[in-house]
Structure 1
């Protein structure tokens, strides 16, 4: 799978399997997540969706705070995700993907993040022209409240991944649908 980075960026990641989402691998003792959402059809939808994912537009449209100096995802870029102005989740982009029919990126957790793990956002266009968003992740609670949430925390993560698809479909989807 071609991607634009070399080895994963150095840094104080809070887990060892940096870059594992690139191959869909879930390390032992982590909870996997895989949510795939149909966005629309065609090259234009693919390009709009890929741009919205790579430039943080999808996240911002969801109401998630994104604090970064970068205009788009690139290996080594630090990003702090904020939820409700209360939860701050520092991350670093570990890989990006730039292929004719697949584009996306993943970030990994840094110290201070309530979770420990990695999350990837990939837009792909299949042979029949259908455009999909796939959110893949592995995680486990790092802070006490994330661990205490257990299954409820994982349910929120799945809901978040599904919402990514809904928002991206609205941002980039085929207006004819």
Structure 2
């Protein structure tokens, strides 16, 4: 087992309590599959994983392996995510790491479709939703889709303009590559 496949470390109790008490920063009614409100960017990218067991891929998805394999440090209130799970993702090292707090707001675990959506929390550089979905194709392969709708939430993210969008696209490509192996 490599370090990315080990269970994610738990959030410290105080951090978990703070994130659970926080309100999501995504506006009410925001949806990844609808026309975004002014100022929000919506995107969706997908890859076909090849002949792969949907349930095995979902086990990886629901245990934060996608985020870990994409290079993020993950601390979660739950080893296997459920609605209400809070997670603190870290991009980078040490004090310079960007903190990315989120709350899982939807989980779908149906035959042929496995997905979850998380919403941003205060201190997240963006404000919005991101959805990770696995679905079975007609020929038995698995399709992995990452969709998001967001806008910059911090001054640094707003100042980044096209660089912020490029960073978001870069992370999405890393997410999509995380289940291809």
Class of the TM-score when normalised by the shorter of the 2 chains: 0.7 to 0.9
- Secondary structure of the 1:48 match is helix
* 1:127, distance to aligned residue in structure 2 (A): 1.6
* 1:18, distance to aligned residue in structure 2 (A): 5.4
What root-mean-square deviation, in Å, do the aligned CA atoms of Structure 1 and Structure 2 show?
A: 1.8
Q: Where do 5+ consecutive residues of structure 1 fail to align?
A: 1-8, 171-177
Contact 1:39/1:165 (<8 A) preserved = no
Higher relative contact order (CA 8 A, sep 6+): 1
Q: Deviations over 1:122-173 (max 9, x none)?
A: 0111122121110000111111111111122112211211111112111xxx
1:98 corresponds to: 109
2:75 corresponds to: 67
* 1:33, distance to aligned residue in structure 2 (A): 1.5
Matches within 5 A, 1:77-156: 77-85=85-93, 86-156=97-167
Distance 2:26 2:91 in 1: 22
Q: Where do 5+ consecutive residues of structure 2 fail to align?
A: 1-19
1:17 lines up with 2:55 in the alignment: no
